[in-house]
Structure 1
């Protein structure tokens, strides 16, 4: 047996006779296997790491080769959104009309709740809404009288629809234009020399809301009594001529002291209005008062 320390050849025994080192007899096979057993986990780890490094790109390659996942569409929301977008794109005029209708409704309600306050705080940018209110007034007055006469007589005996509706519309439109010019001149002479006609007409239109509603009420009164309807129409027209010019003028603060006195300015507006009505009597006054 060879000593593992000094390489001395000795007989069988537990210790070397030359150096005294212990001889390995029974555990030789076990110890010989130790390096292999110790290396096995290392080799396994190395193989595992190498295999993981090699397989990882393959997995990524496989994932990239898979088809992309696309979530399903939501049909209700998508369809409604597309419909709304297409409707907005296809109907820009309807969208604008709806917006202006909402703005005019706000303008009309403010004039109905607080006419004098709304006229005092009105802006020139609302001139278009004032024109709409004037047009409604001009159309509703002859239409209300035409409906009242139709209800009483069961049909207009003389004249046509043009005589009882279209001609009064033209006459009242001219009268309103002249009335605004009279108010503008009176304000310029007695209240504010820097006033603009557009601003005066805007305030004038904002005060017509209550009278437009009264004409609509006259249509409802036809169900109960035609005479009540005609009295409402006549009083509404007279109140418009007497009150609206007064409140439009007094909605301005007086900035001149040497100008015309406000009382005389208001009286001049009334006098000019009555003069115009007398000259246009055949088309305005008769169409309103004659059926009463």
Structure 2
């Protein structure tokens, strides 16, 4: 066996007789290590925050093919912006806007159900629908004076008033809202003395607003006819106003079951409501007329 170190020929053994080198170590090739450093970039090349480094080590042996060993370093996360700005996903929405959207959605659902089955929904309506019922009453009070304002020509409006929108729309809307609230109070009193002594005023207002939903739709139909210049709009408007003032109190009074013996008969209770309504119309009519003549409408 020839020694690869000194060239001496040996007969046998594990070591060279001349230099003492071990024969089995000479079977292995020197280890070759190749280190390659390069940067792996998965995004923008200009972003220096990505610092992933791959190192490749190749080792050759005398027997097998050269294996490859890959070692990866951990990428450092991108740094946050210095101004502390965050993306659009973390941007906070306006809480008032979200609340308005939610309330609008609730009222729309309430409106659709009341339009489909007004009597059935009214029987199930409680004081928890007070806000929705109040909104319906306000909408009804605004629609009627607005239609009167639009039905009167601009020349006539300017002739009778220097502020026609205030005098023909805003002020009548205020008085009509007060009038509708008084009708609800009269209905509450009639229910108390006739069918249900434990009736709640908030529940009466909620039911009143629910009953107004079909008449609001009739008012909108009248509004469309008025915009088109058709006289049919006046007929629809009259139906809506008469139904809202006289029909609803009677239906609400009859929607309550009699809790016990005694109490005023339901028919007489409804007649009392009508009497109170006519008396209120006379009082409010005289007050509004005197305010128009004096040029002062409730001080505003």
TM range, smaller chain: 0.5 to 0.7
Q: Could you tell me how far apart the structure 1 residues matched to 2:224 and 2:287 are? A: 26
Shift of 1:235: 2.1
Deviates more, 1:137-146 or 1:211-220: 211-220
Pair 1:101-2:104 in alignment: yes
Change (3 A) 1:156 1:110: farther
Q: Could you tell me how far apart the structure 2 residues matched to 1:111 and 1:156 are? A: 39
Q: Secondary structure at the match of 1:222?
A: helix
Q: Name 2:175's counterpart in structure 1.
A: 171
Q: Residue 257 of structure 2 is aligned with which of 250, 253, 257?
A: 253
Taking the TM superposition and a 5 Å limit, the aligned residue runs for 1:149-164 are 149-150=152-153, 155-159=157-161, 160-164=164-168
Consecutive unaligned residues in structure 1, runs of 5 or more = 1-31, 34-42, 45-58, 73-80, 286-292
Shift of 1:221: 0.5
Higher strand share: 2
Report the TM-score, using the length of structure 1 for normalisation. Answer: 0.67
| Greater relative contact order (CA < 8 Å, ≥ 6 in sequence) | 1
Q: Residue 272 of structure 1 is aligned with which of 254, 259, 276?
A: 276
Higher helix share: 1
Pair 1:216-2:220 in alignment: yes
Taking the TM superposition and a 5 Å limit, the aligned residue runs for 1:102-121 are 102-121=105-124
Change (3 A) 1:85 1:246: farther
Q: Secondary structure at the match of 1:90?
A: coil
Q: 1:107, 1:129 within 8 Å by CA — same for their partners in 2?
A: yes
Look at both structures and tell me which one has the larger radius of gyration over its CA atoms: 1
Equivalenced residues, count: 224
Shift of 1:148: 1.2
Q: Could you tell me how far apart the structure 1 residues matched to 2:113 and 2:288 are? A: 30
Shift of 1:123: 2.6
Taking the TM superposition and a 5 Å limit, the aligned residue runs for 1:77-92 are 82-86=87-91, 89-92=92-95
Deviates more, 1:128-137 or 1:157-166: 157-166
Q: Could you tell me how far apart the structure 2 residues matched to 1:283 and 1:156 are? A: 23
Pair 1:126-2:145 in alignment: no
